[in-house]
């Protein structure tokens, strides 16, 4: 288990709800790329105050990495990016399946992969039913 990093001052989820759609959430029997039954489009979680720890403890990289500029805000990038130890995971919005191949994203993903490789880590991209290791 890795400690949760702090949120960058001034950043918030806003109206982004990609974490309610892109990952699979076993607790809710929610498959990847399907909206969580508790998500209200454009507003967020309808059970926010009582959401389970799997949701409460999650922060995407946009919320925790001051080095990421506005281009990486999930509502702009159409990707949800997070770290799990030495692994960087990228979940791509199925409405924008090739966004991760465009710049500035692809160059940064390759840089993260090179950096992670030195410690046995990697970058993995999930795009609909496809999985890519960078």
Summarised one tens digit per residue, pLDDT across range 90-113 is: 999 999 999 999 999 999 999 999
Q: Give 25-47 pLDDT, tens digit per residue.
A: 998 999 999 999 999 977 889 99
d(C-alpha 13, C-alpha 54), whole Å: 16
For 56-85, how does the pLDDT look when each residue is reduced to its tens digit (9 = 90+)?
889 999 999 999 999 999 999 999 999 988
């Amino acid at each position: 288990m890795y400690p949760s990093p702090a949120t960058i001052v001034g950043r918030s989820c806003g109206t982004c709800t990609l974490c309610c759609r892109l990952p699979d959430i076993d607790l809710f029997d929610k498959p990847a790329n399907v909206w969580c039954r508790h998500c209200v489009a454009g507003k967020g979680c309808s059970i926010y105050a009582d959401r389970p720890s799997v949701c409460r403890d999650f922060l995407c990289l946009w919320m925790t990495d001051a080095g990421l500029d506005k281009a990486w805000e999930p509502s702009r990038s159409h990707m949800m990016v997070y770290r799990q130890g030495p692994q960087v995971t990228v979940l791509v919005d199925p409405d924008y399946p090739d966004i991760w191949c465009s710049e500035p994203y692809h160059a940064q993903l390759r840089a993260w992969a090179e950096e992670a490789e030195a410690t046995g880590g990697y970058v993995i991209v999930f795009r609909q039913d496809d999985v890519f290791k960078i």
